[in-house]
A and B are shown apart, each in its own frame.
Chain A
Amino acid sequence: MNEFFIPRLGHVVWESVPRLGAATRLLLGGLGAVGNRHFSFRQWLREVYGLGVLSLALMIVAALFTGMVLGFQGYYALVRFGATSALGTLIALSLLRELGPVLTALLFAGRAGSALTAEIGSMKATEQLAAMEMMAVNPLAWVVAPRLWGGIFAVPILCVIFDLVGIFGGYLVSVPVLGVDGGTFWAQMQSNVTLSGDILNGLLKALCFGLIVTWIAVWQGFSAKPTAEGVGAATTRSVVMASLAVLGLDFILTALLF
Protein backbone atom coordinates (compact mmCIF):
# COMPACT_ATOMS: atom_id res chain seq x y z
CA MET A 1 0.00 0.00 0.00
CA ASN A 2 1.69 3.18 -1.10
CA GLU A 3 1.41 6.70 0.23
CA PHE A 4 -1.03 7.71 -2.50
CA PHE A 5 -3.63 5.18 -1.47
CA ILE A 6 -5.57 7.43 0.90
CA PRO A 7 -5.68 10.47 -1.42
CA ARG A 8 -6.66 8.24 -4.31
CA LEU A 9 -9.41 6.61 -2.27
CA GLY A 10 -10.58 10.07 -1.29
CA HIS A 11 -10.60 11.06 -4.92
CA VAL A 12 -12.67 8.03 -5.94
CA VAL A 13 -15.22 8.69 -3.19
CA TRP A 14 -15.32 12.41 -3.98
CA GLU A 15 -15.82 11.69 -7.68
CA SER A 16 -18.70 9.32 -7.02
CA VAL A 17 -20.67 11.73 -4.82
CA PRO A 18 -22.31 13.69 -7.67
CA ARG A 19 -23.06 10.46 -9.56
CA LEU A 20 -24.66 8.96 -6.49
CA GLY A 21 -26.66 12.16 -6.13
CA ALA A 22 -27.88 11.89 -9.71
CA ALA A 23 -28.77 8.22 -9.22
CA THR A 24 -30.72 9.06 -6.08
CA ARG A 25 -32.57 11.83 -7.86
CA LEU A 26 -33.46 9.35 -10.61
CA LEU A 27 -34.77 6.90 -8.02
CA LEU A 28 -36.82 9.41 -6.05
CA GLY A 29 -38.03 11.17 -9.18
CA GLY A 30 -39.01 7.85 -10.73
CA LEU A 31 -40.79 6.53 -7.65
CA GLY A 32 -42.53 9.86 -7.14
CA ALA A 33 -43.63 10.12 -10.76
CA VAL A 34 -46.59 7.80 -10.14
CA GLY A 35 -48.45 11.00 -9.36
CA ASN A 36 -47.48 12.55 -12.70
CA ARG A 37 -50.15 12.76 -15.37
CA HIS A 38 -47.90 10.93 -17.80
CA PHE A 39 -47.66 7.89 -15.56
CA SER A 40 -49.69 5.08 -17.03
CA PHE A 41 -51.07 2.13 -15.13
CA ARG A 42 -51.20 0.08 -18.33
CA GLN A 43 -47.53 0.76 -18.93
CA TRP A 44 -46.76 -0.44 -15.40
CA LEU A 45 -48.76 -3.61 -15.91
CA ARG A 46 -46.86 -4.25 -19.13
CA GLU A 47 -43.58 -3.94 -17.27
CA VAL A 48 -44.61 -6.27 -14.46
CA TYR A 49 -45.65 -8.77 -17.09
CA GLY A 50 -42.61 -8.20 -19.29
CA LEU A 51 -40.02 -8.27 -16.53
CA GLY A 52 -41.71 -11.19 -14.82
CA VAL A 53 -42.26 -13.32 -17.88
CA LEU A 54 -38.73 -12.67 -19.13
CA SER A 55 -37.29 -14.40 -16.10
CA LEU A 56 -40.03 -16.94 -15.33
CA ALA A 57 -38.73 -20.02 -17.15
CA LEU A 58 -35.26 -19.38 -15.83
CA MET A 59 -36.61 -19.03 -12.28
CA ILE A 60 -38.51 -22.28 -12.41
CA VAL A 61 -35.58 -24.34 -13.68
CA ALA A 62 -33.18 -22.72 -11.21
CA ALA A 63 -35.59 -23.20 -8.31
CA LEU A 64 -36.14 -26.86 -9.13
CA PHE A 65 -32.42 -27.59 -9.14
CA THR A 66 -31.79 -25.52 -6.02
CA GLY A 67 -34.53 -27.35 -4.12
CA MET A 68 -33.27 -30.76 -5.22
CA VAL A 69 -29.70 -29.95 -4.20
CA LEU A 70 -30.98 -28.72 -0.84
CA GLY A 71 -32.72 -32.07 -0.42
CA PHE A 72 -29.51 -34.02 -0.89
CA GLN A 73 -27.27 -31.72 1.16
CA GLY A 74 -29.80 -31.35 3.96
CA TYR A 75 -30.27 -35.09 4.17
CA TYR A 76 -26.49 -35.57 4.31
CA ALA A 77 -26.26 -33.24 7.32
CA LEU A 78 -29.41 -34.33 9.16
CA VAL A 79 -29.01 -38.08 8.81
CA ARG A 80 -25.99 -37.95 11.18
CA PHE A 81 -28.24 -36.68 13.95
CA GLY A 82 -31.09 -38.96 13.06
CA ALA A 83 -33.11 -35.85 12.33
CA THR A 84 -34.17 -36.43 8.74
CA SER A 85 -37.75 -35.69 9.79
CA ALA A 86 -36.66 -32.02 9.91
CA LEU A 87 -35.60 -32.10 6.26
CA GLY A 88 -38.76 -30.36 5.05
CA THR A 89 -38.28 -27.57 7.58
CA LEU A 90 -34.64 -27.13 6.61
CA ILE A 91 -35.44 -26.88 2.91
CA ALA A 92 -38.32 -24.50 3.44
CA LEU A 93 -36.44 -22.20 5.79
CA SER A 94 -33.34 -22.08 3.57
CA LEU A 95 -35.47 -21.15 0.57
CA LEU A 96 -37.93 -18.78 2.20
CA ARG A 97 -35.46 -16.83 4.28
CA GLU A 98 -32.38 -16.80 2.10
CA LEU A 99 -31.96 -18.66 -1.16
CA GLY A 100 -35.31 -17.73 -2.65
CA PRO A 101 -34.93 -13.96 -2.46
CA VAL A 102 -31.20 -13.89 -3.20
CA LEU A 103 -31.21 -16.28 -6.16
CA THR A 104 -34.36 -14.71 -7.58
CA ALA A 105 -32.73 -11.29 -7.43
CA LEU A 106 -29.45 -12.50 -8.96
CA LEU A 107 -31.25 -14.23 -11.82
CA PHE A 108 -33.50 -11.22 -12.27
CA ALA A 109 -30.45 -8.96 -12.51
CA GLY A 110 -28.88 -11.20 -15.12
CA ARG A 111 -31.98 -11.61 -17.25
CA ALA A 112 -34.39 -8.72 -16.79
CA GLY A 113 -32.01 -6.11 -15.33
CA SER A 114 -29.58 -6.39 -18.20
CA ALA A 115 -32.41 -6.19 -20.73
CA LEU A 116 -33.70 -3.08 -18.98
CA THR A 117 -30.31 -1.37 -19.11
CA ALA A 118 -29.84 -2.26 -22.77
CA GLU A 119 -33.32 -1.03 -23.64
CA ILE A 120 -32.99 2.33 -21.90
CA GLY A 121 -29.40 2.75 -23.07
CA SER A 122 -30.36 2.29 -26.69
CA MET A 123 -33.35 4.59 -26.27
CA LYS A 124 -30.83 7.18 -25.14
CA ALA A 125 -28.34 6.42 -27.91
CA THR A 126 -31.01 6.77 -30.60
CA GLU A 127 -32.31 10.04 -29.08
CA GLN A 128 -35.68 8.51 -28.18
CA LEU A 129 -35.45 9.92 -24.67
CA ALA A 130 -34.53 13.37 -25.99
CA ALA A 131 -37.44 13.16 -28.45
CA MET A 132 -39.77 12.31 -25.58
CA GLU A 133 -38.56 15.35 -23.64
CA MET A 134 -39.17 17.47 -26.73
CA MET A 135 -42.73 16.18 -26.91
CA ALA A 136 -43.17 17.42 -23.35
CA VAL A 137 -43.50 13.90 -21.95
CA ASN A 138 -41.38 13.36 -18.87
CA PRO A 139 -39.28 10.18 -19.27
CA LEU A 140 -39.29 9.82 -15.49
CA ALA A 141 -43.03 9.26 -15.62
CA TRP A 142 -43.31 7.38 -18.88
CA VAL A 143 -40.14 5.27 -18.84
CA VAL A 144 -38.63 5.16 -15.35
CA ALA A 145 -41.63 4.95 -13.02
CA PRO A 146 -43.35 1.94 -14.64
CA ARG A 147 -40.07 0.04 -14.72
CA LEU A 148 -39.06 0.82 -11.15
CA TRP A 149 -42.47 -0.06 -9.77
CA GLY A 150 -42.63 -3.01 -12.14
CA GLY A 151 -39.39 -4.43 -10.74
CA ILE A 152 -40.44 -3.80 -7.15
CA PHE A 153 -43.61 -5.74 -7.85
CA ALA A 154 -42.26 -8.49 -10.10
CA VAL A 155 -39.37 -9.69 -7.93
CA PRO A 156 -41.48 -10.64 -4.87
CA ILE A 157 -43.90 -12.50 -7.15
CA LEU A 158 -41.02 -14.32 -8.81
CA CYS A 159 -39.62 -15.05 -5.36
CA VAL A 160 -42.85 -16.69 -4.26
CA ILE A 161 -42.75 -18.86 -7.38
CA PHE A 162 -39.10 -19.67 -6.74
CA ASP A 163 -39.88 -20.71 -3.15
CA LEU A 164 -42.79 -22.91 -4.13
CA VAL A 165 -40.97 -24.64 -6.98
CA GLY A 166 -37.86 -25.00 -4.84
CA ILE A 167 -39.79 -26.68 -2.02
CA PHE A 168 -41.38 -28.98 -4.56
CA GLY A 169 -37.88 -29.85 -5.90
CA GLY A 170 -36.75 -30.56 -2.36
CA TYR A 171 -39.76 -32.81 -1.87
CA LEU A 172 -38.97 -34.73 -5.07
CA VAL A 173 -35.54 -35.63 -3.76
CA SER A 174 -36.42 -36.13 -0.08
CA VAL A 175 -39.50 -38.29 -0.29
CA PRO A 176 -39.44 -40.43 -3.45
CA VAL A 177 -35.64 -40.63 -3.77
CA LEU A 178 -34.23 -40.57 -0.25
CA GLY A 179 -37.21 -42.20 1.39
CA VAL A 180 -38.10 -39.58 3.99
CA ASP A 181 -41.70 -39.99 5.15
CA GLY A 182 -43.93 -37.67 3.14
CA GLY A 183 -46.35 -36.91 5.96
CA THR A 184 -43.56 -35.91 8.31
CA PHE A 185 -41.90 -33.84 5.62
CA TRP A 186 -44.94 -31.59 5.21
CA ALA A 187 -46.16 -31.66 8.80
CA GLN A 188 -42.80 -30.61 10.22
CA MET A 189 -42.54 -27.84 7.67
CA GLN A 190 -46.02 -26.60 8.42
CA SER A 191 -45.54 -26.39 12.16
CA ASN A 192 -42.10 -24.78 12.06
CA VAL A 193 -42.39 -22.16 9.36
CA THR A 194 -44.00 -18.94 10.55
CA LEU A 195 -45.75 -16.38 8.42
CA SER A 196 -44.26 -13.18 9.83
CA GLY A 197 -40.90 -14.55 10.89
CA ASP A 198 -40.01 -16.49 7.76
CA ILE A 199 -42.33 -15.87 4.85
CA LEU A 200 -42.76 -12.11 5.21
CA ASN A 201 -39.10 -11.75 6.12
CA GLY A 202 -38.15 -13.32 2.79
CA LEU A 203 -40.67 -11.27 0.86
CA LEU A 204 -39.37 -8.08 2.43
CA LYS A 205 -35.91 -9.01 1.21
CA ALA A 206 -37.25 -9.72 -2.26
CA LEU A 207 -38.95 -6.34 -2.32
CA CYS A 208 -35.73 -4.54 -1.39
CA PHE A 209 -33.74 -6.55 -3.93
CA GLY A 210 -36.30 -5.80 -6.64
CA LEU A 211 -35.95 -2.11 -5.90
CA ILE A 212 -32.17 -2.06 -5.91
CA VAL A 213 -31.70 -4.25 -9.00
CA THR A 214 -34.21 -2.27 -11.04
CA TRP A 215 -32.80 1.02 -9.80
CA ILE A 216 -29.27 0.07 -10.83
CA ALA A 217 -30.50 -1.23 -14.19
CA VAL A 218 -32.45 1.92 -15.01
CA TRP A 219 -29.70 4.19 -13.77
CA GLN A 220 -27.03 2.41 -15.79
CA GLY A 221 -29.23 2.70 -18.87
CA PHE A 222 -29.70 6.41 -18.33
CA SER A 223 -26.03 7.12 -17.71
CA ALA A 224 -24.75 4.88 -20.52
CA LYS A 225 -22.52 6.51 -23.10
CA PRO A 226 -24.83 6.97 -26.11
CA THR A 227 -22.97 4.57 -28.38
CA ALA A 228 -23.33 0.84 -29.11
CA GLU A 229 -20.16 0.24 -27.13
CA GLY A 230 -21.33 2.41 -24.24
CA VAL A 231 -24.62 0.52 -23.98
CA GLY A 232 -22.80 -2.81 -23.94
CA ALA A 233 -20.49 -1.65 -21.17
CA ALA A 234 -23.42 -0.29 -19.16
CA THR A 235 -25.24 -3.61 -19.46
CA THR A 236 -22.28 -5.50 -18.04
CA ARG A 237 -21.87 -2.93 -15.28
CA SER A 238 -25.54 -3.17 -14.45
CA VAL A 239 -25.38 -6.93 -13.82
CA VAL A 240 -22.13 -6.80 -11.84
CA MET A 241 -23.22 -3.89 -9.67
CA ALA A 242 -26.70 -5.28 -9.07
CA SER A 243 -25.36 -8.71 -8.08
CA LEU A 244 -22.90 -7.24 -5.61
CA ALA A 245 -25.54 -4.89 -4.26
CA VAL A 246 -27.94 -7.80 -3.69
CA LEU A 247 -25.35 -9.79 -1.76
CA GLY A 248 -24.27 -6.78 0.30
CA LEU A 249 -27.82 -5.73 1.05
CA ASP A 250 -28.67 -9.32 1.93
CA PHE A 251 -26.04 -9.26 4.64
CA ILE A 252 -27.37 -6.00 6.06
CA LEU A 253 -30.99 -7.13 5.97
CA THR A 254 -30.20 -10.52 7.46
CA ALA A 255 -28.27 -8.88 10.30
CA LEU A 256 -31.11 -6.44 10.94
CA LEU A 257 -33.97 -8.93 10.71
CA PHE A 258 -32.21 -11.83 12.42
Chain B
Amino acid sequence: MAEENLVEIRGLHFARGEHVVLDGIDLHVPRGAVVAVMGASGGGKTTLLNLVAGSLQGQRGQVLVAGKDTTSLTRAELYRLRQQMGMLFQHSALFTDLSAFENVAFPLRRHFRLPESLLQKLVLMKLEAVGLRGAAQLMPAELSGGMARRVALARAVIMDPLLILYDEPFTGLDPISVGIIASLIRRLNDALGASSILVSHDVKETFAIADYGYILGGGKVIAEGSPDALRSSKSPMAQQFLQGSPEGPVPFHYPAATTFAQDLGLQVNK
Protein backbone atom coordinates (compact mmCIF):
# COMPACT_ATOMS: atom_id res chain seq x y z
CA MET B 1 0.00 0.00 0.00
CA ALA B 2 3.06 2.17 -0.16
CA GLU B 3 2.57 3.57 -3.64
CA GLU B 4 1.43 7.09 -3.72
CA ASN B 5 -0.56 6.66 -6.93
CA LEU B 6 -3.50 4.30 -7.07
CA VAL B 7 -3.48 4.31 -10.86
CA GLU B 8 -0.38 4.62 -13.00
CA ILE B 9 -0.64 4.65 -16.77
CA ARG B 10 2.62 4.65 -18.69
CA GLY B 11 3.06 5.01 -22.44
CA LEU B 12 -0.33 3.46 -23.13
CA HIS B 13 -1.09 2.84 -26.76
CA PHE B 14 -4.42 1.51 -28.01
CA ALA B 15 -5.63 1.11 -31.57
CA ARG B 16 -8.72 -0.40 -33.16
CA GLY B 17 -7.33 -1.83 -36.36
CA GLU B 18 -5.78 1.07 -38.24
CA HIS B 19 -7.46 3.67 -36.06
CA VAL B 20 -5.15 4.82 -33.28
CA VAL B 21 -7.33 5.83 -30.34
CA LEU B 22 -4.71 6.40 -27.65
CA ASP B 23 -1.16 7.14 -28.66
CA GLY B 24 1.19 7.03 -25.69
CA ILE B 25 -0.77 8.24 -22.68
CA ASP B 26 0.88 8.93 -19.33
CA LEU B 27 -1.54 9.53 -16.50
CA HIS B 28 -1.58 9.00 -12.78
CA VAL B 29 -4.21 9.16 -10.09
CA PRO B 30 -2.88 9.96 -6.60
CA ARG B 31 -4.67 8.26 -3.71
CA GLY B 32 -7.62 10.30 -2.53
CA ALA B 33 -7.73 12.51 -5.60
CA VAL B 34 -10.47 13.21 -8.13
CA VAL B 35 -8.73 13.30 -11.50
CA ALA B 36 -10.59 14.68 -14.49
CA VAL B 37 -10.06 13.43 -18.04
CA MET B 38 -11.47 15.75 -20.64
CA GLY B 39 -11.50 15.78 -24.40
CA ALA B 40 -13.69 15.86 -27.44
CA SER B 41 -16.25 13.12 -28.16
CA GLY B 42 -14.64 10.12 -29.78
CA GLY B 43 -11.34 11.12 -28.22
CA GLY B 44 -10.95 7.82 -26.43
CA LYS B 45 -12.12 8.71 -22.93
CA THR B 46 -14.46 5.73 -22.53
CA THR B 47 -11.75 3.57 -24.05
CA LEU B 48 -9.33 4.83 -21.41
CA LEU B 49 -11.74 3.89 -18.59
CA ASN B 50 -12.20 0.42 -20.10
CA LEU B 51 -8.43 0.03 -20.21
CA VAL B 52 -8.17 0.96 -16.54
CA ALA B 53 -10.95 -1.51 -15.70
CA GLY B 54 -9.19 -4.20 -17.70
CA SER B 55 -12.08 -4.80 -20.12
CA LEU B 56 -9.80 -3.69 -22.95
CA GLN B 57 -6.09 -4.27 -23.34
CA GLY B 58 -3.60 -1.85 -24.85
CA GLN B 59 -1.07 -2.84 -27.48
CA ARG B 60 1.79 -1.11 -25.68
CA GLY B 61 2.37 0.45 -22.31
CA GLN B 62 1.25 -0.32 -18.78
CA VAL B 63 -1.84 0.22 -16.69
CA LEU B 64 -1.17 -0.30 -12.99
CA VAL B 65 -4.06 -0.27 -10.55
CA ALA B 66 -3.04 -0.63 -6.91
CA GLY B 67 0.30 -1.88 -8.20
CA LYS B 68 -1.21 -4.61 -10.41
CA ASP B 69 -0.86 -4.54 -14.18
CA THR B 70 -4.40 -5.04 -15.50
CA THR B 71 -3.09 -6.44 -18.78
CA SER B 72 -1.41 -9.44 -17.17
CA LEU B 73 -4.13 -10.56 -14.76
CA THR B 74 -6.12 -13.76 -15.08
CA ARG B 75 -9.86 -13.41 -15.20
CA ALA B 76 -10.19 -14.41 -11.55
CA GLU B 77 -7.55 -11.87 -10.48
CA LEU B 78 -9.18 -9.19 -12.60
CA TYR B 79 -12.55 -9.92 -10.98
CA ARG B 80 -10.95 -9.68 -7.55
CA LEU B 81 -9.48 -6.31 -8.47
CA ARG B 82 -12.82 -5.13 -9.83
CA GLN B 83 -14.47 -5.76 -6.49
CA GLN B 84 -12.44 -2.76 -5.41
CA MET B 85 -13.61 -0.65 -8.35
CA GLY B 86 -16.91 1.02 -9.04
CA MET B 87 -17.99 2.39 -12.36
CA LEU B 88 -20.75 4.78 -13.25
CA PHE B 89 -21.75 4.17 -16.85
CA GLN B 90 -22.67 6.87 -19.32
CA HIS B 91 -26.27 5.63 -19.47
CA SER B 92 -26.55 4.43 -15.85
CA ALA B 93 -26.86 0.78 -16.97
CA LEU B 94 -29.31 -0.14 -14.21
CA PHE B 95 -30.77 -3.64 -14.43
CA THR B 96 -34.23 -2.96 -15.79
CA ASP B 97 -35.82 -5.99 -14.13
CA LEU B 98 -34.70 -5.05 -10.61
CA SER B 99 -35.93 -2.28 -8.29
CA ALA B 100 -33.61 0.56 -7.26
CA PHE B 101 -33.00 -1.26 -3.98
CA GLU B 102 -32.15 -4.56 -5.66
CA ASN B 103 -29.91 -2.81 -8.16
CA VAL B 104 -27.84 -1.38 -5.35
CA ALA B 105 -27.94 -4.67 -3.45
CA PHE B 106 -26.87 -6.69 -6.50
CA PRO B 107 -23.07 -6.64 -5.97
CA LEU B 108 -23.47 -7.41 -2.26
CA ARG B 109 -25.81 -10.33 -2.91
CA ARG B 110 -23.50 -11.75 -5.57
CA HIS B 111 -20.30 -11.50 -3.56
CA PHE B 112 -21.27 -11.99 0.06
CA ARG B 113 -23.73 -13.97 2.10
CA LEU B 114 -25.02 -11.28 4.40
CA PRO B 115 -27.96 -11.52 6.76
CA GLU B 116 -30.91 -9.71 5.19
CA SER B 117 -31.07 -7.12 7.99
CA LEU B 118 -27.43 -6.11 7.51
CA LEU B 119 -27.82 -5.96 3.74
CA GLN B 120 -30.89 -3.79 4.18
CA LYS B 121 -28.88 -1.36 6.31
CA LEU B 122 -25.94 -1.17 3.90
CA VAL B 123 -28.12 -0.56 0.88
CA LEU B 124 -30.33 2.00 2.58
CA MET B 125 -27.23 3.84 3.81
CA LYS B 126 -25.97 4.25 0.25
CA LEU B 127 -29.40 5.18 -1.05
CA GLU B 128 -29.70 7.75 1.73
CA ALA B 129 -26.30 9.16 0.75
CA VAL B 130 -27.59 9.85 -2.77
CA GLY B 131 -30.92 11.10 -1.37
CA LEU B 132 -33.05 8.30 -2.76
CA ARG B 133 -33.94 6.14 0.22
CA GLY B 134 -37.58 7.03 -0.51
CA ALA B 135 -37.29 5.69 -4.06
CA ALA B 136 -35.89 2.30 -3.03
CA GLN B 137 -38.84 0.31 -4.32
CA LEU B 138 -39.19 2.09 -7.67
CA MET B 139 -38.23 0.32 -10.88
CA PRO B 140 -35.64 1.92 -13.20
CA ALA B 141 -38.37 2.82 -15.71
CA GLU B 142 -40.04 4.94 -12.99
CA LEU B 143 -36.91 7.00 -12.28
CA SER B 144 -35.96 10.25 -13.97
CA GLY B 145 -32.57 10.44 -15.70
CA GLY B 146 -30.99 12.21 -12.74
CA MET B 147 -32.46 9.77 -10.22
CA ALA B 148 -31.30 6.77 -12.27
CA ARG B 149 -27.81 8.24 -12.37
CA ARG B 150 -27.85 8.57 -8.57
CA VAL B 151 -29.07 5.00 -8.06
CA ALA B 152 -26.29 3.84 -10.37
CA LEU B 153 -23.88 5.90 -8.29
CA ALA B 154 -25.08 4.23 -5.10
CA ARG B 155 -24.57 0.86 -6.79
CA ALA B 156 -21.08 1.84 -7.95
CA VAL B 157 -19.99 2.58 -4.37
CA ILE B 158 -21.87 -0.18 -2.51
CA MET B 159 -18.71 -2.27 -2.16
CA ASP B 160 -16.75 0.71 -0.78
CA PRO B 161 -14.35 0.74 -3.74
CA LEU B 162 -10.82 2.09 -3.79
CA LEU B 163 -11.29 3.48 -7.26
CA ILE B 164 -14.42 4.96 -8.81
CA LEU B 165 -14.68 5.51 -12.56
CA TYR B 166 -17.20 7.99 -13.91
CA ASP B 167 -18.08 8.05 -17.61
CA GLU B 168 -19.67 11.41 -18.45
CA PRO B 169 -21.84 11.54 -15.33
CA PHE B 170 -23.30 14.96 -16.23
CA THR B 171 -24.42 14.27 -19.77
CA GLY B 172 -28.13 14.73 -20.41
CA LEU B 173 -29.02 16.02 -16.94
CA ASP B 174 -30.70 19.25 -15.89
CA PRO B 175 -28.49 21.86 -14.14
CA ILE B 176 -29.77 20.98 -10.67
CA SER B 177 -29.06 17.27 -11.14
CA VAL B 178 -25.62 18.14 -12.52
CA GLY B 179 -24.84 20.08 -9.38
CA ILE B 180 -26.12 17.25 -7.17
CA ILE B 181 -24.08 14.61 -8.98
CA ALA B 182 -20.97 16.78 -8.94
CA SER B 183 -21.08 17.34 -5.20
CA LEU B 184 -21.87 13.65 -4.63
CA ILE B 185 -18.80 12.63 -6.61
CA ARG B 186 -16.59 14.76 -4.40
CA ARG B 187 -18.32 13.81 -1.15
CA LEU B 188 -18.34 10.07 -1.83
CA ASN B 189 -14.71 10.15 -2.90
CA ASP B 190 -13.67 11.81 0.35
CA ALA B 191 -16.01 9.87 2.62
CA LEU B 192 -14.85 6.50 1.25
CA GLY B 193 -11.20 7.52 1.06
CA ALA B 194 -11.36 6.48 -2.57
CA SER B 195 -9.82 7.87 -5.72
CA SER B 196 -11.86 8.84 -8.76
CA ILE B 197 -11.36 9.23 -12.47
CA LEU B 198 -13.95 11.60 -13.85
CA VAL B 199 -14.43 11.59 -17.60
CA SER B 200 -16.37 14.60 -18.77
CA HIS B 201 -16.46 17.48 -21.16
CA ASP B 202 -18.40 19.66 -18.77
CA VAL B 203 -15.55 22.05 -18.02
CA LYS B 204 -17.17 24.19 -15.33
CA GLU B 205 -18.59 21.41 -13.14
CA THR B 206 -15.54 19.24 -13.57
CA PHE B 207 -13.09 21.96 -12.61
CA ALA B 208 -15.16 22.75 -9.54
CA ILE B 209 -14.55 19.31 -8.01
CA ALA B 210 -11.37 17.92 -9.62
CA ASP B 211 -7.92 18.05 -8.04
CA TYR B 212 -6.11 17.52 -11.29
CA GLY B 213 -7.07 17.34 -14.94
CA TYR B 214 -5.88 15.91 -18.23
CA ILE B 215 -7.03 17.09 -21.62
CA LEU B 216 -6.80 14.51 -24.40
CA GLY B 217 -6.54 15.40 -28.05
CA GLY B 218 -5.47 13.33 -31.02
CA GLY B 219 -4.81 10.36 -28.75
CA LYS B 220 -2.28 12.26 -26.64
CA VAL B 221 -2.34 14.28 -23.44
CA ILE B 222 -2.29 17.85 -24.74
CA ALA B 223 -2.40 19.54 -21.36
CA GLU B 224 -2.44 18.56 -17.70
CA GLY B 225 -2.41 20.26 -14.37
CA SER B 226 -4.62 21.59 -11.62
CA PRO B 227 -7.80 23.31 -12.80
CA ASP B 228 -6.17 26.71 -12.30
CA ALA B 229 -3.06 25.73 -14.19
CA LEU B 230 -5.17 24.36 -17.04
CA ARG B 231 -7.23 27.53 -17.27
CA SER B 232 -4.07 29.54 -17.80
CA SER B 233 -2.54 26.92 -20.09
CA LYS B 234 -0.72 28.27 -23.11
CA SER B 235 -1.58 25.27 -25.30
CA PRO B 236 -3.83 26.50 -28.11
CA MET B 237 -5.58 23.11 -28.29
CA ALA B 238 -6.35 23.18 -24.58
CA GLN B 239 -7.63 26.74 -24.82
CA GLN B 240 -9.84 25.88 -27.78
CA PHE B 241 -11.35 22.99 -25.80
CA LEU B 242 -11.86 24.96 -22.60
CA GLN B 243 -13.48 27.86 -24.41
CA GLY B 244 -15.46 25.64 -26.74
CA SER B 245 -14.59 27.60 -29.86
CA PRO B 246 -15.04 26.05 -33.30
CA GLU B 247 -11.95 27.89 -34.63
CA GLY B 248 -8.59 26.52 -33.63
CA PRO B 249 -6.09 23.72 -34.09
CA VAL B 250 -8.67 20.97 -33.49
CA PRO B 251 -10.20 20.43 -36.91
CA PHE B 252 -13.95 20.76 -37.37
CA HIS B 253 -13.84 18.53 -40.46
CA TYR B 254 -13.50 14.77 -40.31
CA PRO B 255 -10.52 13.93 -42.54
CA ALA B 256 -11.60 13.07 -46.10
CA ALA B 257 -9.61 11.36 -48.84
CA THR B 258 -10.78 13.76 -51.52
CA THR B 259 -11.22 17.51 -51.55
CA PHE B 260 -14.69 19.05 -51.39
CA ALA B 261 -14.24 20.33 -54.95
CA GLN B 262 -13.44 16.82 -56.17
CA ASP B 263 -16.52 15.41 -54.46
CA LEU B 264 -18.65 18.02 -56.18
CA GLY B 265 -17.05 17.13 -59.53
CA LEU B 266 -15.58 20.61 -59.95
CA GLN B 267 -12.02 19.39 -60.57
CA VAL B 268 -11.30 19.30 -64.31
CA ASN B 269 -9.25 16.29 -65.32
CA LYS B 270 -6.43 17.13 -67.68
Contacts and interface: CB of A to CB of B under 8 A. Distances in A.
Interface of A: 38, 122-123, 126-128, 130-131, 133-138, 142
Contacts of B94: 128
A131 B96 contact: no
Given A136-B111, A137-B107, A131 B93 contact: yes
Range for the number of chain B residues in contact with chain A: 20 to 34
A122 B83 CA distance: 25
B100 to A, nearest CB: 14
Contacts of B89: 127, 130-131
The SS class assigned to the B binding surface is mixed
B156 to A, nearest CB: 8
Contact of A136 (B80, B91, B95, B155): B80
Given A126-B96, A128-B96, A130-B55, A135 B91 contact: no
B90 interface: yes
A228 to B, nearest CB: 13
Given A38-B110, A127-B89, A130-B55, A136 B82 contact: yes
B55 A138 contact: no
Contacts, number: 48
Nearest to A133: B55
A135 B93 contact: no
Given A130-B89, A131-B87, A136 B96 contact: no
B55 A135 contact: no
A134 B85 contact: yes
15 contacts: A122-B96, A126-B91, A126-B93, A126-B96, A127-B89, A127-B91, A128-B94, A128-B95, A130-B55, A131-B87, A131-B93, A134-B53, A134-B82, A135-B107, A137-B111
B79 A138 contact: yes
Interface string B76-104: 00011011011101110111100000000
B82 A135 contact: yes
Nearest to A134: B87
Contacts of A122: 96
* Residue among A122, A123, A126, A131 with most chain B CB within 10 A: A131
Given A127-B90, A131-B87, A136-B79, 8 more contacts: A38-B110, A126-B96, A127-B89, A127-B91, A127-B93, A130-B55, A131-B89, A136-B82
Contacts of B159: 135
B207 interface: no
A130 B50 CA distance: 10
B195 to A, nearest CB: 16
B91 to A, nearest CB: 6
